[in-house]
Structure 1
Amino acid sequence: MTDKLKALIDRLEAEHTLKKEEWVALFDGYDDETREYAAKKARETAQSVFGNKIYIRGIVEFSNVCKNDCLYCGIRCSNSNAVRYRLTEEEILSCCDEGYKYGFRTFVLQSGEDHKEYPASRMAEIVRMIKKAHPDCAVTLSLGEMEYEDYKLMKEAGADRYLLRHETASKELYEKLHPQSMSFEHRMQCLKWLKELGYQTGAGMMIGAPYQTSEHLAEDMLFLRSFEPHMIGTGPFLPHSDTPFRDMPKGSYELTLFVLSLCRLMLPDVLLPATTALGTIRPNGREQGVLSGANVIMPNLSPTAVRKKYMLYDGKICTEDSSDECRSCVQARMKSIGYEVEITRGDHR
């Protein structure tokens, strides 16, 4: 680790911002020693804000139907090998009821962009059902791009949070990852709308996405710093065998951990998941994510019968464990590194 990189990490910890060329220098020049130095700083920062508490969110993946054809995604509409499914309102609520028994106080409803079958009006009703059954819980939605009135309707129904990864802050890279029918400008507009409407808003990017450079990652960090999301969802790119990117290399595990640490130092109170993708690329990936500054884990509450059908990338973990097993596993894993799962909504401060 050079003195220059150490000084940049120290300044990020103190000032929570860097210039673009400084971000590029970090991404181009880091080594294991640099990464471990940043992880130690990030871990101390996270513990000063959250103590040794880890928040859990229960994900319900209720539909793998998607109108989009993103080049990296296993549930893209042109993947004829995907076995499609949709859950009913009753099935979604049953997943939340079961999760509640196991201590989950945030439910994340996630799907492909299946807005014809699940328009905002239907989603608003599902949110009301969950809130009526579990008024002490938060509901997070992750449904992709919609319009302002759609987001407003679901917010008024009681939705608390919305996850929409920006994927990349570079229009040029965005257009290499998505079909022409999708718009970089509209995605960014959606994020602005969500924040305006009062959602706790999550953004984020893939690490090591095809064609991504250090400059692209620097632009992501500058965007995140200016946008100040409440949550940052970031994990390594993992290829899916039924996509045009099937032969692309995986994103770097080490770089993903480094980015997590830098995000924590840049935005000390951000909600930062150690993602399933991180646990997929390395068996102890989620533990190392927490030790690099993450403070959220998101186990799966979907029915085990459909979990293998929601395959955004190959090899996804925890597709056969029951909700109880997922919860117990996370608790044991966190305890092994000195952390405690907290039964709470885990709102942003």
Structure 2
Amino acid sequence: MTHTSKIKIADIFHNTDPSLDRQLLEKADHCRRQHLGSAVYPRGLIEYSNCCRRNCFYCGLRRGNSLIRRYHLQREQIIELALQAYDAGYQSICLQSGELSSSKEVDFIADVIRTIKGYRSKNSGQGLGITLSLGELTYKQYRQLWEAGAHRYLLRIETSNPLLFQKIHPPEQSYNRRLECLDALREIGYQVGTGVMIGLPGQSYEDLATDLEFFQAKDIDMLGMGPYIPHPDTPLARQKTEFIPDAFTTTIRMLALARILMPDINMVASTALQSIHPDGLKLGLKAGANIVMPVLTPEDNRKDYMLYANKKFSNFERLKHDIHEAGYELTLWQWGDSPHYFKRQGLLTTDYAPTGDSTCSLRSRI
């Protein structure tokens, strides 16, 4: 991304003209339909543990939060939830937890993955697609989980501004270490996802433009972004630093710009987006998102997996209704892998951005 393009993107965030949002959504929707069609793929989200060794200043699961009840699902519980999702046609799940990097914990989840991957439905022989979101691990541990059968990994950078990264994390957490983990995942062969929070204290529109540049430079396959929603039991929630005034609208613009700039990646309509606005899902899809993550975590544990306050949940039928109403199709029995991953691996010859086609380029007027 050129310096001029970054200025232009920052200007888009500063712009208060309501017609701009309509134009952005139209352009993003066109790009997504042109490159990915109308399919929306579900990733059944199993939040199997809220135990975490980290102490991030923004997260309700931080180890310093003594006000939440900690839990860790048993092996059989996780496997049963995964197989129920598979039999319902989800085809892909996401296993997520707080960050635990002990050998015992990684061995545990590797065993769970192998067991799930060994399951075959009468309808399909490929088994469940598995995404992981477990935080920073060692190269060896990432490879262990890859060899067990996981093939996607989401590790959010949260912000590509190293100084802002340090302000929202304790000193023992390193921006460079996060980058090393993303590089390791890519080298091993994962479909790599990352993302940022939008509306962080002290974050600027110029930071967000740089975030988009970072996603392109890292050549990511998946993107998960959402508005920053404070959790009352965290240090960041008590900061009085200036916020971006409308995190929801800015998030929608970020999604739309990401889809225009990276038309063949997978992009999530986050739970946070749906939690902060009644039409969050529909607008997220209009902005180019093609992945949803229905929560499969047992109801008794959901209230204890609160990364942020007032997390909302939609049941499967409601999710399906909203997707259809927005003009898209909830697509079951398919993995829905990122086309960009196969393209960068040289496994696809389709050109997702034909030369001279400006419909997915910021060169054309918005």
TM-score normalised by the chain length of structure 2: 0.86
1:116 aligns with one of 96, 102, 105: 102
* Counterparts in 2 of 1:37 and 1:146: CA distance versus 1, 3 Å: same
Q: Secondary structure at the match of 1:36?
A: helix
Q: Which amino acid aligns with 1:205?
A: V
Q: For 1:145 and 1:190, locate their aligned partners in 2 and report how far apart those are by CA, in whole Å.
A: 6
Q: For 1:150 and 1:18, locate their aligned partners in 2 and report how far apart those are by CA, in whole Å.
A: 41
Q: Which amino acid aligns with 2:270?
A: T
Pairwise CA distance, 1:117: 7.6
* 1:46 and 2:32 correspond: yes
Partner of 1:232: 223
1:338 aligns with one of 317, 327, 333: 327
Q: Which amino acid aligns with 1:298?
A: M
* Counterparts in 2 of 1:111 and 1:100: CA distance versus 1, 3 Å: same
* 1:130 and 2:119 correspond: no
Partner of 2:354: none
1:261 aligns with one of 256, 262, 265: 256
2:301 aligns with one of 294, 303, 306: 306
Q: For 1:18 and 1:236, locate their aligned partners in 2 and report how far apart those are by CA, in whole Å.
A: 26
Residues 139 and 184 in structure 2, CA contact (< 8 A), matched pair in contact too = yes
Pairwise CA distance, 1:125: 1.3
Q: Secondary structure at the match of 1:332?
A: helix
Q: Secondary structure at the match of 1:159?
A: coil
Pairwise CA distance, 1:293: 1.1
Pairwise CA distance, 1:23: 2.6
Q: Secondary structure at the match of 1:62?
A: strand
Partner of 2:63: 77
* 1:103 and 2:92 correspond: no
Deviations 1:53-90 (A, max 9, x none): 11110000000011111011001000010110001111
Q: Which amino acid aligns with 2:259?
A: R
Pairwise CA distance, 1:17: 10
Partner of 2:348: none
Instruction: Report 1:312-331 matches (<5 A).
Output: 312-318=307-313, 326-331=315-320
1:26 aligns with one of 9, 12, 15: 12
Partner of 2:47: 61
Partner of 2:342: none
Instruction: Report 1:120-159 matches (<5 A).
Output: 120-134=106-120, 135-159=126-150
Pairwise CA distance, 1:340: 1.0
Deviations 1:82-117 (A, max 9, x none): 110001111100111121232211110000012238
Pairwise CA distance, 1:184: 0.4
Partner of 2:291: 296
Q: For 1:302 and 1:171, locate their aligned partners in 2 and report how far apart those are by CA, in whole Å.
A: 33
Q: Which amino acid aligns with 1:283?
A: P
Q: Secondary structure at the match of 2:231?
A: coil
Q: For 1:279 and 1:118, locate their aligned partners in 2 and report how far apart those are by CA, in whole Å.
A: 35
1:279 aligns with one of 274, 283, 301: 274
Pairwise CA distance, 1:279: 0.5
Q: Secondary structure at the match of 2:220?
A: coil
Residues 63 and 114 in structure 1, CA contact (< 8 A), matched pair in contact too = no
Pairwise CA distance, 1:119: 3.0
Instruction: Report 1:167-206 matches (<5 A).
Output: 167-206=158-197
Residues 38 and 262 in structure 1, CA contact (< 8 A), matched pair in contact too = yes
Residues 165 and 205 in structure 1, CA contact (< 8 A), matched pair in contact too = yes
Q: Which amino acid aligns with 2:76?
A: E
Q: Secondary structure at the match of 1:232?
A: strand
Residues 228 and 267 in structure 1, CA contact (< 8 A), matched pair in contact too = no
Q: Secondary structure at the match of 1:280?
A: helix
TM-score normalised by the chain length of structure 1: 0.90
Partner of 1:3: none
Segment of structure 1 superposing worse, 108-117 or 160-169? 108-117
Q: Which amino acid aligns with 2:231?
A: H
Percent pairwise identity:
37
Pairwise CA distance, 1:126: 1.2
Unaligned runs of 5+ in 1: 1-11
Q: For 2:271 and 2:50, locate their aligned partners in 1 and report how far apart those are by CA, in whole Å.
A: 17
Deviations 1:199-225 (A, max 9, x none): 001010001111111121122111111
Unaligned runs of 5+ in 2: 121-125, 340-366
* Counterparts in 2 of 1:65 and 1:27: CA distance versus 1, 3 Å: same
Residues 102 and 327 in structure 1, CA contact (< 8 A), matched pair in contact too = no
Q: For 1:75 and 1:210, locate their aligned partners in 2 and report how far apart those are by CA, in whole Å.
A: 19
Deviations 1:286-320 (A, max 9, x none): 111001111111000111110110000110011xx
